Structure 1
Amino acid sequence: MYIRQNIDFYRFFNLIFLKYVLTLNYIFLILHHQRRSHLFTPLVYIDKNKYFRFIAAKRESSFSFGKQNENLFTAITMSFIVNRRDWLKSGLLASTGLALGSATTAQASTTYSSLGIFDVYAEREREIVQEALLAAAPQVKARLSSNENPWGPAPTAIKAIADNAPKAFLYAGPVTAELKKTIADMHGVTTDQVMLGAGSSELLMASLLLAATKGKVMMAETCYISGRDAREDGATMKTEKVPLTKDYQYDLEAMATRVNSETSMIYVCNPNNPTGVMLPSAKLKSFCDSVSPKATVLVDEAYIDYAPNPATDSMVECVRKGQNVLILRTLSKLHGFAGLRIGYALGQPALLKDLRKFCSGGFTVSTTSAAAATASFKDKAFQDMVLKNTIESKKFLCDSLTSMGYSYLPSSANFVLFPIKMKGPMLLQKMMAEGVSVKSWFFDQQHWCRVSIGTMDEMKAFKDAFAKSVS
Structure 2
Amino acid sequence: MRTEKINRRNWLKKGVLTAGGVIAAPYLSFAETSRTPITLDLNGDAIYSPFFKEYLLDTEREFPVLSAKLNANENPYGPSPKALEALKTNAFKGNRYAWKELFELMDKIAEVEGVQRENIMMGPGSSDLLEKTAVTLFMNGGNVVSADPAYMSLIRVAEAAGGTWKAVPLKENWSHDLKAMEAAIDKDTKLVYICNPNNPTGTITEYNELLDFCSRVSEKVPVFIDEAYLGFLEDGAKKSMVSLVNEGKDVIIARTFSKIHGMAGLRVGYAVAQKATLDRLQKITRAGMGISYPSVFAAMAAMDDVEFLDQSRALNAACREYVYQSLDAMGIAYVPSHTSFMIFPIEMEGKDFLQKMTDLKVGVRAFNFMGKNWCRVSMGTMEEMKIFTSALKDVIA
Give your verdict on TM over 0.5. Answer: yes
Secondary structure at the counterpart of residue 273 of structure 1: coil
Matched, 1:443 2:369: yes
Q: CA deviation at 1:40?
A: 7.6
Distance in 1 (CA, whole Å) between partners of 2:293 and 2:215 is: 37
Matched, 1:181 2:107: yes
Greater Cα offset, 168-177 or 285-294? 168-177
The Cα offsets for residues 435-461 of structure 1, whole Å up to 9 and x where unpaired, read as: 101000111211000000010000000
The Cα offsets for residues 138-167 of structure 1, whole Å up to 9 and x where unpaired, read as: 3x1000000000000011111111111122
For the Cα contact (< 8 Å) 1:220–1:226, is it kept in 2? no
Identity %: 37
Corresponding residue number in structure 1 for 2:310: 384
Matched, 1:303 2:257: no
Matched, 1:242 2:168: yes
Q: CA deviation at 1:169?
A: 2.1
Corresponding residue number in structure 1 for 2:16: 62
Secondary structure at the counterpart of residue 204 of structure 2: coil
Q: 1:235 to 1:365 in 2, by over 3 A?
A: closer
Distance in 2 (CA, whole Å) between partners of 1:134 and 1:462 is: 24
Corresponding residue number in structure 2 for 1:158: 84
Q: CA deviation at 1:237?
A: 2.4
For the Cα contact (< 8 Å) 1:197–1:365, is it kept in 2? yes
Distance in 1 (CA, whole Å) between partners of 2:8 and 2:371 is: 36
Matched, 1:137 2:50: no
Distance in 2 (CA, whole Å) between partners of 1:373 and 1:228 is: 27
Q: CA deviation at 1:394?
A: 0.7
Q: 1:370 to 1:235 in 2, by over 3 A?
A: closer
Matched, 1:466 2:392: yes
Distance in 2 (CA, whole Å) between partners of 1:389 and 1:427 is: 27
For the Cα contact (< 8 Å) 2:16–2:61, is it kept in 1? no
Matched, 1:122 2:48: no
The gaps in structure 1 that reach 5 residues or longer are: 1-36, 42-57, 67-74, 78-117
Distance in 2 (CA, whole Å) between partners of 1:260 and 1:76 is: 38
Taking structure 2 as the reference length, the TM-score comes to: 0.85
Q: 1:305 to 1:137 in 2, by over 3 A?
A: same
Instruction: Determine which structure has greater relative contact order: mean sequence separation of CA pairs < 8 Å that are 6+ residues apart, divided by chain length.
Output: 2
Secondary structure at the counterpart of residue 159 of structure 1: helix
Corresponding residue number in structure 1 for 2:250: 324
Two-structure CA RMSD over aligned residues (Å): 3.1
Consecutive aligned runs of 4 or more in structure 1 exceeding 2 Å deviation: 37-41, 58-61, 118-127, 133-138, 226-231, 233-237, 357-360
For the Cα contact (< 8 Å) 1:329–1:343, is it kept in 2? yes
Summarize the alignment of residues 4-15 of structure 1 with structure 2, pairs less than 5 Å apart. Answer: none
Q: CA deviation at 1:223?
A: 0.5
**Number of residues of Structure 1 aligned to a counterpart in Structure 2:** 366
Taking structure 1 as the reference length, the TM-score comes to: 0.72
Distance in 2 (CA, whole Å) between partners of 1:316 and 1:429 is: 41
Q: 1:357 to 1:135 in 2, by over 3 A?
A: farther
Secondary structure at the counterpart of residue 397 of structure 1: helix
The Cα offsets for residues 284-329 of structure 1, whole Å up to 9 and x where unpaired, read as: 0000111001000000111111124211111011112111000011
Distance in 1 (CA, whole Å) between partners of 2:74 and 2:294 is: 20
For the Cα contact (< 8 Å) 1:200–1:344, is it kept in 2? yes
Radius of gyration: which is bigger? 1
Corresponding residue number in structure 1 for 2:150: 223
Amino acid at match of 2:210: L
Residue 260 (structure 1) aligned to one of 177, 183, 186 = 186
Q: 1:226 to 1:202 in 2, by over 3 A?
A: closer
Distance in 1 (CA, whole Å) between partners of 2:232 and 2:239 is: 10
Distance in 2 (CA, whole Å) between partners of 1:464 and 1:325 is: 44
Corresponding residue number in structure 2 for 1:353: 279
Amino acid at match of 1:163: T
Q: CA deviation at 1:38?
A: 9.8
Residue 429 (structure 1) aligned to one of 355, 358, 363 = 355
The gaps in structure 2 that reach 5 residues or longer are: 1-6, 24-30, 39-45, 47-53
For the Cα contact (< 8 Å) 2:33–2:153, is it kept in 1? no
Secondary structure at the counterpart of residue 209 of structure 1: helix
For the Cα contact (< 8 Å) 2:127–2:154, is it kept in 1? no
For the Cα contact (< 8 Å) 1:308–1:412, is it kept in 2? no
